[in-house]
């Protein structure tokens, strides 16, 4: 805390009991956040990123979606994907982790409301629960939460 207080130019924070420990800062988060914002807004993000980097502090800038799409690391690892849908080409974030034995992926776009209902209902109707066929009553105008199964 003392190094951060020195960096922002207000070393009184270092001796302020409201900010002595993380739990104290958390208890006074609204006031602490206001003061941090007040100090940090006086200089550009590039200044803070350089200063935090030199201090060995973990940090990440808050970026817009447009900025994220241009982020070199995310481009290098192929994080963003695009897919053709019934609404045209849609861009979206990919799966954030890669597992060698169970790789995840997005193979198709999300279904439109009701697109797979007939197949699902057909599968459900062919199953039995306690030796009774499953009967599903659904109206095309009802949302899925209003479907009745017995």
Q: How far is residue 36's CA from residue 4's CA, in Å, rounded to a whole number? A: 10
Q: Which pLDDT belongs to residue 53?
A: 92
pLDDT tens, the chain, 150 aa long = 788 888 888 888 888 999 888 999 999 999 999 998 998 899 998 999 999 999 888 888 888 888 988 889 888 988 888 888 888 888 888 888 878 888 888 877 778 888 888 888 888 777 655 445 556 565 666 555 555 554
pTM, rounded to two decimals:
0.48
Report whether 18 contacts 24 (CB < 8 A): yes
Distance CA 104, CA 21 (A): 41
Q: Which helix (H) or strand (E) holds 125?
A: helix 117-125
Contact between residue 89 and residue 82 where contact means Cβ atoms under 8 Å apart: yes
- 148: exposed, middle or buried (Cβ count in 10 Å: 0-12, 13-18, 19+): exposed
| Whole-number pLDDT of residue 58 | 87
């Amino acid at each position: 805390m003392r190094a951060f207080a020195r960096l922002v130019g207000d070393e009184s924070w270092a001796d302020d009991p409201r900010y002595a420990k993380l739990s104290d800062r958390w208890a006074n988060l609204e006031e602490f956040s206001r003061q941090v914002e007040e100090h940090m807004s006086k200089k550009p993000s590039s200044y803070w990123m350089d200063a935090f980097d030199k201090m060995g502090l973990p940090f990440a800038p808050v970026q817009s979606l447009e900025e994220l799409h241009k982020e070199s690391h995310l481009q290098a690892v192929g994080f963003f994907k695009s897919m053709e849908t019934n609404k045209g080409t849609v861009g979206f974030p990919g799966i954030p982790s890669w597992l060698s034995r169970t790789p995840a992926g997005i193979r198709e776009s999300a279904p439109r409301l009701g697109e797979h209902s007939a197949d699902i209902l057909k599968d459900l109707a062919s199953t039995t629960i306690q030796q009774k066929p499953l009967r599903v009553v659904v109206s095309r105008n009802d949302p899925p939460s209003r479907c009745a199964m017995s």
